């Protein structure tokens, strides 16, 4: 419904531009077409801003996913080294078999929980003293980026819901 209204206004604006010679400058018709054009410019700016925000949100999430994946691999690799002296240490840090966002987040939360008691062993493997905090931060950023993406998706659904209504 909103899309049809928007498209109608675009046609009105195009008509006004194509036939502007038929309307007196400063006249009522000319002012009406100017008003329609200004309203469409506002709608286009608003929609452009939403699309830019959505794109930036996806880029942020992609970056956060990359950082978290790298952190998880670093911890899992170190856990395999630790397992040579501490039995089953690597079993506590399984990398997800699927790279879905949910699997990655669950692995990150598990790693954060399990890494605390073994922090010294990981540092002996060469991880920096701040690695646990960095891992926790990577999980939090990825979780937040996912929540923003979900909010964007819900906003899109809510925005389009009137178009989906059956008349």
pLDDT at position 94: 94
Of 76 and 167, the structure prediction assigns the larger pLDDT to: 76
Q: Reply yes or no on whether the pLDDT at 92 is more than 70.
A: yes
Of 94 and 99, the structure prediction assigns the larger pLDDT to: 94
Query: Looking at residues 29-45, what average pLDDT do you find?
Result: 81
Looking at every residue in the chain, the average pLDDT score rounds to 82
CA distance 81 to 127: 12
With CA atoms as reference, report the closest residue to 68 among 145, 127, 129. 145
Of 109 and 99, the structure prediction assigns the larger pLDDT to: 109
Query: Looking at residues 99-119, what average pLDDT do you find?
Result: 92
pLDDT at position 43: 77
CA distance 142 to 161: 28
Query: Is this model's pTM higher than 0.85 or not?
Result: no
pLDDT at position 61: 86
Percent of the chain with pLDDT strictly greater than 70: 84
- Tens-digit pLDDT profile for residues 123-164: 999 999 999 999 999 999 998 887 665 555 555 545 555 544
């Amino acid at each position: 419904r909103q899309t049809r209204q928007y498209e109608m206004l675009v046609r009105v604006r195009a008509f006004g531009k194509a036939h502007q010679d038929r309307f007196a400058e400063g006249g009522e018709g000319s002012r009406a077409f100017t008003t329609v054009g200004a309203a469409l410019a506002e709608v286009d700016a608003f929609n452009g801003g939403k699309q830019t925000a959505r794109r930036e949100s996806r880029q942020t999430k992609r970056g956060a996913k990359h950082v978290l994946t790298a952190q998880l691999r670093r911890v899992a690799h170190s856990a395999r080294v630790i397992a040579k002296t501490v039995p089953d240490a690597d079993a506590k840090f399984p990398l997800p078999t699927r790279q879905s966002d949910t699997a990655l987040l669950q692995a990150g939360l598990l790693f954060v929980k399990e890494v605390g008691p073994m922090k010294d062993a990981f540092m002996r493997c060469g991880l920096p003293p701040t690695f646990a905090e960095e891992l926790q931060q990577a999980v939090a950023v990825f979780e937040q980026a996912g929540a923003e993406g979900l909010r964007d998706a819900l906003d899109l659904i809510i925005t389009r819901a009137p178009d989906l209504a059956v008349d």
